[in-house]
């Protein structure tokens, strides 16, 4: 007695195997001739549609902090070279692009400070086993990248602060909120951890 296919009860295995090597349309016709339903692909289709519906989930976790710190450090290196070209090689095109040299220095120092703070925050949080909220992480990344950018804008346009309208000045002040909230939340987590469960 010929072996029976487990996926198609009542059908010899050799028939199913032979039909599977045929083109899709011919394969379906042969299965239909034996009153066999083609293998269902509803599970795969449903899974694909669910993936398309939900989209790609972007994970916001603590590993974003060193990434943001590396970006800040890259900005430090680039600005350092720009300042060197202005200061020591006296390149006129760079002087024209960044007339506010002192603001460029402030942006350079601020990016370096943010990079150091992000790396330290990541190491301390990791060592203490703390998991800040997604909002805190997003605020840290956004604040660290945007805070020094204000000085960079002033390096390009030094009169920006003096000639800025009141709403623009308020907007600049509001830009300090993410960094304040992010680093403040991290400090609160660290202090609370050390008070409730001191490591010594």
Q: What is the pLDDT of residues 92-108, one digit of tens each?
A: 899 999 999 999 999 99
Distance CA 5, CA 131 (A): 53
Which pLDDT value is given to residue 15? 47
Helix ranges, the chain (H): 13-20, 24-33, 42-54, 64-87, 92-97, 101-128, 134-156, 160-163, 166-174, 177-196
CA angle 118, 124, 129 (to 5 degrees): 125
Distance CA 110, CA 144 (A): 9
Backbone angles phi, psi at 36, to 5 degrees: -115, 135
Which pLDDT value is given to residue 46? 36
Residues of the chain with pLDDT under 70: 1-59, 164, 200
Q: What is the pTM of this model?
A: 0.67
Give Cα 158 to chain centroid, integer Å. Answer: 32
Which pLDDT value is given to residue 173? 80
Which pLDDT value is given to residue 55? 45
In 1-154, the DSSP E strands lie at none
By the 8 A CB rule, do 96 and 155 touch? no
Helix ranges, 88-132 (H): 92-97, 101-128
Q: How many beta carbons lie within 10 A of that of residue 149, not counting itself?
A: 14
CA angle 161, 142, 126 (to 5 degrees): 140
Which pLDDT value is given to residue 16? 46
């Amino acid at each position: 007695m010929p072996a029976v296919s487990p996926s198609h009860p009542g059908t010899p295995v050799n028939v199913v195997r032979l039909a599977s090597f045929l083109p899709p349309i011919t394969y379906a016709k042969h299965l239909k001739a034996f009153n066999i339903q083609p293998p269902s692909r509803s599970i795969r289709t449903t899974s694909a549609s669910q993936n398309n519906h939900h989209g790609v989930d972007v994970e916001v976790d603590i590993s974003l902090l060193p990434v943001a710190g590396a970006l800040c450090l890259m900005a430090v290196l680039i600005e350092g070279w720009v300042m060197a070209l202005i200061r020591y090689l006296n390149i006129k095109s760079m002087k024209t692009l960044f007339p506010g040299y002192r603001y460029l220095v402030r942006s350079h120092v601020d990016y370096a400070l943010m990079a150091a703070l992000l790396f330290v925050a990541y190491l301390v949080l990791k060592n203490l086993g703390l998991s800040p909220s997604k909002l805190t992480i997003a605020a840290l990344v956004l604040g660290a990248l945007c805070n020094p950018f204000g000085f960079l804008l002033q390096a390009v346009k030094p009169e920006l602060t003096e000639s800025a309208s009141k709403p623009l000045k308020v907007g600049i002040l509001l830009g300090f909120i993410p960094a304040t909230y992010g680093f403040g939340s991290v400090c609160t987590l660290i202090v609370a951890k050390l008070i409730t469960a001191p490591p010594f």
